[in-house]
Structure formats: C-alpha cells, structure tokens
C-alpha cells in the first residue's frame, strides 16, 4: 500500500473504512486455460479474499443510476475528439447512467478530493495505447470535476503528456507506448524489439503508481501495422504468430518490472484487454452491423460472444511474475457495454464517414463520460484497499 495519509473528510473516510470488509484482496492468481468462466475471473484468477470476505469486484451486473455520470463533457478540459461522443452529436444519453454493481457488495463511490489527498505529492502514469489514453483522460475529468477550482497545469506532448493538480502536488500522466517494448528506426524501417524495453522504461522510473495496457496494436495488419520487422536477439522476422509476439513482448515488460520496480514504493497495475463490439451476433442482434445504434448494455451477467484470445497471454505472463502486477480485470464487465463506444459520434470522422456507420463506426474506444469512469472507480478502490 502507498502511504497516502488520511482524507480531510472524516465522515467519508469513516464510511470507506466501514465498507472495507466486503472487498476482495488485490492479490492476483492467474491461469493459462481458456474457459467460459474466464470472463468472471473464475479460472485460476479467483481473487484470494481476506479471511471472512468473498466479494469479487469484477463479477456483477450493470444497473441504472440517475446520479451518473460523474462529470459532464463540457466541464472537462481534456477529452480528445474521438472520445467526445456528446459533443459530436450522439443523440442518446442513457448509456451515461449505468453503474457497475458487483455481486454481493457495492463499490465505494469515486471521491476525487479523497483521491487527491491520498496521492498528494505523488505521480500516477498510464502507459500503453489509446485505451490507456481513454482511461487517463477519464481520470483527469473525474478529478477536475471533484476539484474544479484547484489550480492545474497541462503539459501536452508526444509520447508523454501530464496533467498536474498543483495544490496537491499530484501528476497524472500518459505515456504512449502501444507495444510497451521499444521500436527502433533503422534505415527507414521500424523495428519492433520484442526483447528490449530500455528506451520506454526510462520514463517510468520514480513513478509512484504505474498502470500499463497493451494488446490491440499487436493484431493490426496492413496500413494499421506499427512496425516493418520484429527483432528478437539477433534475428529479424517479417511476421510471426501475433499471440506469440504479444507473449514475448509482455514477458519483456514483466521481467523489467520484476527487476527494476521497488514494489514497496511503487504500485503496478496491468489492465486486461478492452473488448470490441464489431460483431452483433455476439449479443443476438443480427440486424445490426456493429455497435452503431446500441443504447443499452447486454442483459444479464455473462456475455455470449468470443472472449479475447490475448487474455490467455495476459494471465499467463502475470502469473509468472515474481511479484505479480495487480490485474485490473475490466474485460468481462466491459464486454457487456456494447452501448459505450463512439460508433460514428467521433470528431475524428468526416461527415461522409459518419453517414456510413457500417464501415466507419469506432467500436473499440469508449465515450467519455462513459465506461472508463468505471475502470477508474475500480482503480481507486484497488488503491484504497
């Protein structure tokens, strides 16, 4: 646990202490086998509860809650156009009013002032691809809404951007590193170094809370592919099985964490794979072509579609770590949120593209406000307990 000090709000802190007893331990145990139960974290990844406690925060259902969303898009200084669905014309708003309800307990409501006080003088960094940026911007929005008059500073850069809450000495950063491992450019060719992370990792040293994600970019091909060759040791590869490549790269990251991060000082998270919703037969809507027009979560607690193959890699690599990262296991709960994507309501699309939802819908990223706010509520809970 980080030594973040007491909250100034004694009543809130007392309430959080009273609900502490119903939460599971963040201890992680993961398995390699792929089974339907993996969505609920039941195959080899059952969280070891503290004595007398049994609540799994990642197993539950979505319930309507009129007190949501936690902020408005118009009040947040940091939402990229591709996530700003309300600004770019999304006509419905019911997707904003769903709260994650774990089976058998409740999440503590996110309290931004409490978060800032606990984290005062410390740094948080999200590292990864645009899904990590999605979560980073969500957290900045949530904190800004909680402390709207607190002085801030925003330093936008590439690959590193930082939002600072100056009164508290808290920095919330995003480091763009979609593969986590390094990419070199040699004679105009991009070389993905499966066994080298020395350049990217320089930015992670000394950070108090590190939250990593990767996965989606490993599957891209054609014009979306971010490399020309892969290199491992002295061997170059034009291509290889993408799950194998992902496993090699993520293992390089895990080895770096084990060898270089003092876990008594730094909290390390790995976010599980964020699902996509391009195949409507997965939620029994064959008339649709993708997530466009979806306005409510899938019903029930279990999603009938395919579970991301990359989760076998994620679980296996985390299990093999000497000191496992905390797995922020958002996959199963996010699979239910077919309604949460920008689809055509993205500032990245032209009017012509918006008129063609069958071809142009973004069913990978998430609207803000929206689902990543729940990821951060779980992130906050993990830091509390």
**Catalytic hit among 7, 56, 129, 130:** 130
**Catalytic hit among 175, 216, 341, 365:** 365
Active site residue 220: no
- Per the CB < 8 A criterion, the answer to whether 361 and 290 are in contact is yes
Q: Is residue 4 part of a domain?
A: no
Above 50 in pLDDT, residue 23?
no
Q: What single string gives the DSSP state of each residue in 28-96?
A: --------GGGGGT-SS----PPTT----TTSEEEEE-TT--SS-GGG-S---GGG-TTTTT----GGG
Active site residue 138: no
Q: Is residue 35 part of a domain?
A: yes
Please give the torsion angle defined by the CA atoms of residues 310, 282, 70 and 175, in that order, rounded to the nearest 10 degrees. 20
Active site residue 258: no
- Cα gap 145→154, rounded to integer Å: 15
Q: Is residue 5 part of a domain?
A: no
Name the strand (E) or helix (H) holding 260. Answer: helix 242-260
SS3 302: coil
Q: Is residue 152 part of a domain?
A: yes
Question: Tell me, what's the pLDDT at 19?
Answer: 36
Handedness of CA 30, 31, 32, 33 (dihedral sign): negative
Structure token pair of residue 254: 């895990």
The H helix count followed by the E strand count for the chain is 9, 13
Question: Tell me, what's the pLDDT at 286?
Answer: 66
pTM of the model: 0.86
Lowest average pLDDT, out of 304-313, 324-333, 373-382, goes to 304-313
Question: Tell me, what's the pLDDT at 133?
Answer: 98
Structural domain of residue 200, as residue ranges?
Answer: 10-384
How many domains are there within the chain?
A: 1
Question: Tell me, what's the pLDDT at 343?
Answer: 97
Q: Is residue 239 part of a domain?
A: yes
**Catalytic hit among 182, 339, 362, 373:** 362
Model confidence pLDDT, tens digit, residues 127-160 = 999 999 999 999 999 999 999 999 999 999 999 9
- Per the CB < 8 A criterion, the answer to whether 64 and 98 are in contact is yes
């Amino acid at each position: 646990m980080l030594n973040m000090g007491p909250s100034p709000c004694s009543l809130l802190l007392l309430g959080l202490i009273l609900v502490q007893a119903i939460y599971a331990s963040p201890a992680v145990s993961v398995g390699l086998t792929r089974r339907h139960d993996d969505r609920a974290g039941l195959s080899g990844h059952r969280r070891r509860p503290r004595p007398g406690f049994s609540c799994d925060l990642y197993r539950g259902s979505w319930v309507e809650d009129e007190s949501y969303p936690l902020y408005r898009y118009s009040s947040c200084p940091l939402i990229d156009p591709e996530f700003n669905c309300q600004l770019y014309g999304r006509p419905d708003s019911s997707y904003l009013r769903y709260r994650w309800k774990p089976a058998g307990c409740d999440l503590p409501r996110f309290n931004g002032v409490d978060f800032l006080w606990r984290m005062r003088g410390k740094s948080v960094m999200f590292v990864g691809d645009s899904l990590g940026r999605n979560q980073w911007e969500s957290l900045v929005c949530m904190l800004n809404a909680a402390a709207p008059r607190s002085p801030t500073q925003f330093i936008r850069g590439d690959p590193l951007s930082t939002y600072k809450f100056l009164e508290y000495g808290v920095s919330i950063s995003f480091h763009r590193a979609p593969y986590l491992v390094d990419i070199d450019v040699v004679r105009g060719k991009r070389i993905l170094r499966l066994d080298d992370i020395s350049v990217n990792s320089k930015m992670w040293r000394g950070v108090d809370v590190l939250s990593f994600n990767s996965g989606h970019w490993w599957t891209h091909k054609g014009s979306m592919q971010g490399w020309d060759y892969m290199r491992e040791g002295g061997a170059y590869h034009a291509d290889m099985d993408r799950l194998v490549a992902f496993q090699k790269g993520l293992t390089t990251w895990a080895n770096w964490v084990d060898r270089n991060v003092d876990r008594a000082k730094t909290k390390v998270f790995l976010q599980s794979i964020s699902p996509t919703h391009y195949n409507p037969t997965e939620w029994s809507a064959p008339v649709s072509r993708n997530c466009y027009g979806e306005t409510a979560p899938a019903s029930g607690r279990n999603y009938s579609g395919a579970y991301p193959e990359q989760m076998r890699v994620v679980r296996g690599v985390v299990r093999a770590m000497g000191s496992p990262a905390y797995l922020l296991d958002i996959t199963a709960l996010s699979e239910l949120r077919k309604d949460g994507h920008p689809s055509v309501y993205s500032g990245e699309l032209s009017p012509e593209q918006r008129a063609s939802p069958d071809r142009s819908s973004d069913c990978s990223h998430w609207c803000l406000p929206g689902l990543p706010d729940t990821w951060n509520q779980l992130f906050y809970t993990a830091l509390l307990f």
